[in-house]
């Protein structure tokens, strides 16, 4: 059986066509190491034939022919040499299979990250972060056993038992017939058990993903739960989800043990049947052969009998890897709205953005739902042309941040909202990130150094560009006071810096950006008057020739804008 054929046979059985094609694509990604992982065990199995024959021949010479041990040394040496060669082949095959699995997992994770980046924030907000994390880690890791162990085991199980039976036919047709009748029963019963194993695997994957999402969400909101006295109730809910995972795990293990028991039964039946047949033949109680049965032929058949079943035993040992992998693929397909494309194209980097040629934004009858607060509305038509500077004013909580996030493509909306003549919801997330830059009230800072966070805006920015951006944002004194300067690490979500410092880091990131549209939410809220005036002058200089929409309560900041939009207490926007 060829590598492609084995992969196709496994992938296609009861698997939706798109998922089967995707798994074949994954196998193609690691074609060379996977070919070694499949071919070398086959070669090792074929070398078992001369090894068993050499050992049987040596025993025939010593026990029956009464020859000295020296006469059997060549056969013993051949058997020992073949044993070492086979061990080396198996070792190389295992490493090749692991290399193939690592290559596949790396390709899948890159593809999933690409899907996450291209889908945008609206898509990711609709999904539990714990489930996404579980898919990227545990679900992808499940593919390891399928490619590293199951595919090679399936190829060996498909090729070696028939070959061994054909070879044994030349030594004893009764032995070959017994093995030929018992071996096919094993995959039949394994298939019957496998249907239940796959269903149990999917239920286990679903329960595990549910627990991951639930636990991550509750840990993130632990403070809120404590304040509202709901921590104990949610702890009990997590405990119930954990019990469900335990029950699903035991169901999978029960099926795995059942399949092993079926395999061992048929293997023991076949080997015991051969032993009884040869024993009765040597005692003269059974005369089914036309020729005399030699010890060499009987020993060869008995030595090979367990090896006929060995590929099936290995397949059974890794059969759950197949069920788990198929369940993981189905889980990924459901969570990511289809399976991601596996490609060699590099992850798209932020390229310099050019200003749109026509109207930057065109708004008409816009409505932005806000959970628990109704909606923010802009009932009339309004345009934001390239180069326009607009101050967005209104009371706290009126919806200024909601409007900015909607313009940035981070919130769902109803009505008409076009950017550069195209509906905003039709823009790819990566393209919007190149053209539109949003600085929220609480900027997001990634774990890593300050320099790493600044280079999120421009990956190739040199130290001189970083220094200019830092100076423009008023960060230079803070950076100078840090022992490691720009290499100072930041914790998760920017822990370790104040709100004002985080705002300045975000402003410095803006000064490195080439985005033609700037959306700023209270950019000077944490600054004193002198710092505000200095930073505001830098923003004014940087925004020249760009589109600027700034939400603010500060009349000094609002005064730099040529136009003003106001949001009233009812959530209506008045351009």
Dihedral of CA atoms 202, 203, 209, 213 in degrees, nearest 10, equals 150
What's 15's DSSP letter?
-
On the question of pLDDT at 486 being above 70, the answer is yes
| Residue 100 shares a structural domain with residue 168 | yes
Assess if residue 232 is contained within a domain. no
Question: In the predicted model, what is the mean pLDDT of residues 334-352?
Answer: 60
On the question of pLDDT at 505 being above 80, the answer is yes
| Residue 138 shares a structural domain with residue 268 | yes
- The listed range with the strongest mean pLDDT (310-314, 376-380, 497-501, 538-542) is 538-542
- Could you tell me the CA-to-CA distances from 61 to 5, 72, 76, 97, 278 in Å, in that order? 43, 6, 11, 40, 19
Q: Which of 316, 105, 132, 280 is nearest to 216 (CA)?
A: 132
Reported as a single tens digit per residue, the pLDDT across 176-185 is 888 888 887 7
In the chain, the percentage of residues whose pLDDT exceeds 70 is: 86
Question: What's the pLDDT score for residue 372?
Answer: 65
What's 358's DSSP letter?
S
As a whole number of angstroms, the distance between CA 416 and CA 414 comes to: 7
> Quick one: pLDDT band at residue 191, thresholds 50, 70, 90?
low
- The CATH number of the domain holding residue 11 is 1.20.1560.10
Q: Which of 275, 262, 277, 278 is nearest to 306 (CA)?
A: 275
Of the residues 284, 300, 335, which one is the last residue of a structural domain? 335
Assess if residue 39 is contained within a domain. yes
- Strands of the 563-567 sheet, one edge to the other: 436-439, 517-521, 547-551, 389-394, 563-567, 573-574
| Residue 471 shares a structural domain with residue 569 | yes
Assess if residue 298 is contained within a domain. yes
Of the residues 266, 300, 335, which one is the last residue of a structural domain? 335
- The CATH number of the domain holding residue 517 is 3.40.50.300
As a whole number of angstroms, the distance between CA 53 and CA 78 comes to: 10
On the question of pLDDT at 41 being above 80, the answer is yes
Burial class (CB in 10 A: 0-12, 13-18, 19+), 223: exposed
Assess if residue 219 is contained within a domain. no
| Residue 193 shares a structural domain with residue 285 | yes
Contact 560, 523 (CB under 8 A): no
Of the residues 335, 353, 385, which one is the last residue of a structural domain? 335
Assess if residue 212 is contained within a domain. no
| Residue 365 shares a structural domain with residue 331 | no
State which residues form the domain around 34. Answer: 3-198+257-335
Assess if residue 345 is contained within a domain. no
Assess if residue 135 is contained within a domain. yes
| Residue 164 shares a structural domain with residue 21 | yes
| Residue 502 shares a structural domain with residue 554 | yes
Collect contacts of 111-116 with beta carbons under 8 A, ≥24 apart.
111/340, 111/341, 111/342, 111/343, 112/136, 112/140, 112/332, 112/336, 112/340, 113/347, 114/340, 114/347, 114/348, 115/336, 115/340
Assess if residue 122 is contained within a domain. yes
On the question of pLDDT at 152 being above 60, the answer is yes
Please count the other Cβ atoms lying within 10 Å of the Cβ belonging to residue 238: 15
Q: Report the greatest alpha carbon distance in the chain.
A: 112
Strand partners, 449: 489
Reported as a single tens digit per residue, the pLDDT across 461-476 is 888 888 888 888 888 8
As a whole number of angstroms, the distance between CA 468 and CA 42 comes to: 63
| Residue 280 shares a structural domain with residue 411 | no
Q: How many domains does the chain have?
A: 2
Provide the angle, in degrees to the nearest 10, between the axes of the packed helices 529-542 and 463-472: 130
| Residue 389 shares a structural domain with residue 324 | no
Provide the angle, in degrees to the nearest 10, between the axes of the packed helices 295-317 and 185-220: 30
On the question of pLDDT at 5 being above 50, the answer is no
Reported as a single tens digit per residue, the pLDDT across 404-449 is 888 888 888 888 888 988 888 888 877 888 889 998 888 888 888 8
> Quick one: pLDDT band at residue 23, thresholds 50, 70, 90?
confident
Q: Which of 128, 146, 140 is nearest to 198 (CA)?
A: 146
| Residue 56 shares a structural domain with residue 14 | yes
| Residue 291 shares a structural domain with residue 368 | no
Reported as a single tens digit per residue, the pLDDT across 251-275 is 777 776 776 777 777 778 778 888 8
> Quick one: pLDDT band at residue 11, thresholds 50, 70, 90?
very low
Strand partners, 549: 390, 519
């Amino acid at each position: 059986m060829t590598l492609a054929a084995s992969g196709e046979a496994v992938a296609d059985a009861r698997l939706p066509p798109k998922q089967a094609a995707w798994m074949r694509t994954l196998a193609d990604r690691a074609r060379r190491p996977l070919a070694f992982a499949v071919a070398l065990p086959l070669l090792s199995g074929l070398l078992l034939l001369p090894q068993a024959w050499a050992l049987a021949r040596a025993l025939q010479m010593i026990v029956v022919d009464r020859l000295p041990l020296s006469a059997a040394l060549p056969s013993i040496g051949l058997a020992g040499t073949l044993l070492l060669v086979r061990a080396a082949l198996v070792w190389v095959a295992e490493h090749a299979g692991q290399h193939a699995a690592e290559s596949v997992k790396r390709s899948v994770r890159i593809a999933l990250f690409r899907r996450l980046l291209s889908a945008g924030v609206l898509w990711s907000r609709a999904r539990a972060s714990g489930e996404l994390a579980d898919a990227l880690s545990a679900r992808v890791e499940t593919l390891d056993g399928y490619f590293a162990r199951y595919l090679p085991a399936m190829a060996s199980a498909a090729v070696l038992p028939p070959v061994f039976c054909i070879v044994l036919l030349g030594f004893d047709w009764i032995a070959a017939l017994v093995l030929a009748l018992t071996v096919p029963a094993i995959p039949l019963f394994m298939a019957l058990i496998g249907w239940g194993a796959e269903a149990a695997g999917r239920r286990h994957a679903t329960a595990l993903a549910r627990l991951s999402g639930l636990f991550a969400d509750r840990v993130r909101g632990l403070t809120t739960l404590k304040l509202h006295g709901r921590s104990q109730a949610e702890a009990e809910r997590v405990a119930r989800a954990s019990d469900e995972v335990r029950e699903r795990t035991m169901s999978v293990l029960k099926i795995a043990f059942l399949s092993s028991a079926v395999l061992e039964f048929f293997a023991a039946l076949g080997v015991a049947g051969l032993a009884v047949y040869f024993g009765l033949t040597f005692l003269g109680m059974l005369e089914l052969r036309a020729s005399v049965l030699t010890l060499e032929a009987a020993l060869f058949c008995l030595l090979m009998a367990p090896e006929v079943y060995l590929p099936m035993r290995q397949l059974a040992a890794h059969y759950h890897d197949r069920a788990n992998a198929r369940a993981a693929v189905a889980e990924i397909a459901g969570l990511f709205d289809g399976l991601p494309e596996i490609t060699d194209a590099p992850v798209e980097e932020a390229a310099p953005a050019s200003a749109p040629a026509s109207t930057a934004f065109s708004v008409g009858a816009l409505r932005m739902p806000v959970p628990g607060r109704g909606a923010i509305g802009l009932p009339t038509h309004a345009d934001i042309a390239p180069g326009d500077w607009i101050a967005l004013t209104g009371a706290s909580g009126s919806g200024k941040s909601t409007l900015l996030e909607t313009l940035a493509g981070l919130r769902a909306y109803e009505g008409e909202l076009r950017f550069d003549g195209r509906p905003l919801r039709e823009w790819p997330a990566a393209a919007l990130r190149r053209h539109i830059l949003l600085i929220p009230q609480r900027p997001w800072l990634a774990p890593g150094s300050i320099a790493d966070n600044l280079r999120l805006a421009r990956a190739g920015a040199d130290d001189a560009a970083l220094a200019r951006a830092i100076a423009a944002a008023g960060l230079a004194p803070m950076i100078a006071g840090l022992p490691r300067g720009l290499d100072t690490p930041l914790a998760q979500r920017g822990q370790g810096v104040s709100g004002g410092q985080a705002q300045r880091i975000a402003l410095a990131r803006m000064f490195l950006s080439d985005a033609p549209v700037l959306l700023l939410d209270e950019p000077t809220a944490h600054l004193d008057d002198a710092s505000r005036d200095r930073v505001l002058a830098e923003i004014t200089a940087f925004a020249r020739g760009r589109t600027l929409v700034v939400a603010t309560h500060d009349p000094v900041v609002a005064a730099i804008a040529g136009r003003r939009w106001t949001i009233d207490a009812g959530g209506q926007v008045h351009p």
